Amino acid sequence: MTTPSAPRRRLDGEDRQIDAIIEAAWCYYHDGLNQSDIAARMGVSRASVVNYLAEARRRNYVRISLDTEIFRASALAERIRERFGLAGALVVPSDAAEVARSSDRVIRAASDWLPQLLEPGDRLGVAWGETIYRLAGAAPHQPIRELTVVQLLGSRPAALGFAAETCSATLAARFDARCVNLHVPLLLSDEDLCTRLKREPVVAEQLRAVADCNKVVFAAGTCGPDSHMARTGLLDRDRLAEFRAAGAAGVICGRLIDAAGRPMRSEIEDRMIGVTLEQMRDKPLRLLVAADADRLEASRAAILGGYATHLATSSDMAEHLLGGAR
């Protein structure tokens, strides 16, 4: 007696393409076949197999990651940890051919490392800006039980989607976490309005979540004429130039610091809603992602100021940090 087979689902062109992509990826990554063997098995050209594998990566059907322990156990990472008193450092090799790819490597490695630093029940504060936006997009889909992701500072229009709420919401989705967004503007028009808005029950509750975060991920921004501070209009370019002349070296969550990491109060401080520098330094785990060469001075200032317990960076950046350490 035979069991009748289930009726075969009729495949359209898109279904067939997806099946081919999955088959090629499985053969290559799980079965260990080379591209020629896969082409012979599937009855297609080797060029088609190459395209299928590239499409599998593009669609995130396949995610390739290296064990971050490799980058945390290197001699350079150990030197960085010892010199700056960090709890952890991850240093990836720089790309000698293209600086932009070095940045991509750091962000990708940091996105793989971040979930390893998290535990069930953690409250992760998320900063803003291009680096954190890219990290959130690169993070693996890895559910973390009872994790809460918190937006660390209020909203501000930002180019290319780098807004604070986008960064926190994307990371929350990657980790299947609860998301607490800070539903207020980052900068208010006057101090009294800012004070009153902070007292609103809903906002006060969200600010308590900011204060209660036990871990944060952030990048140190620059304070030049093309910085995030300037492009979002927090401070105009002329005012930023004055602060640079007075010693400003970087920005953490919209707040200026000098080369030693000391706060440099600006006229907007009392009109801002978001995490303070004091609160940032108080978090038990603080992951600084230093991905771009133009962030060297700002990243060094953040480290010297005690804002980072963990650092993800490139080998070139690490060498420069060590060379300029005091």
Say yes or no to pLDDT of 186 above 90.
yes
pTM: 0.84
- In tens, the pLDDT along 286-317 reads 999 999 999 999 999 999 999 999 999 999 99
Please give the backbone phi and psi of residue 92, each rounded to the nearest 5 degrees, phi first: -95, 155
Contact 321, 313 (CB under 8 A): yes
Cα–Cα separations (whole angstroms), residue 83 to 71, 247, 287 = 17, 24, 17
- In tens, the pLDDT along 216-256 reads 999 999 999 988 888 888 999 999 999 999 999 999 999 99
**pLDDT (average), residues 137-153:** 95
Query: Using N-to-C axis directions, what is the helix angle for 315-323 and 296-304, rounded to 10°?
Result: 60
**CATH architecture classification, 13-58:** Orthogonal Bundle (1.10)
Residue ranges per structural domain of the chain: 13-58, 69-323
**CATH architecture classification, 69-323:** 3-Layer(aba) Sandwich (3.40)
Three-point CA angle 115, 57, 317, nearest 5° = 55
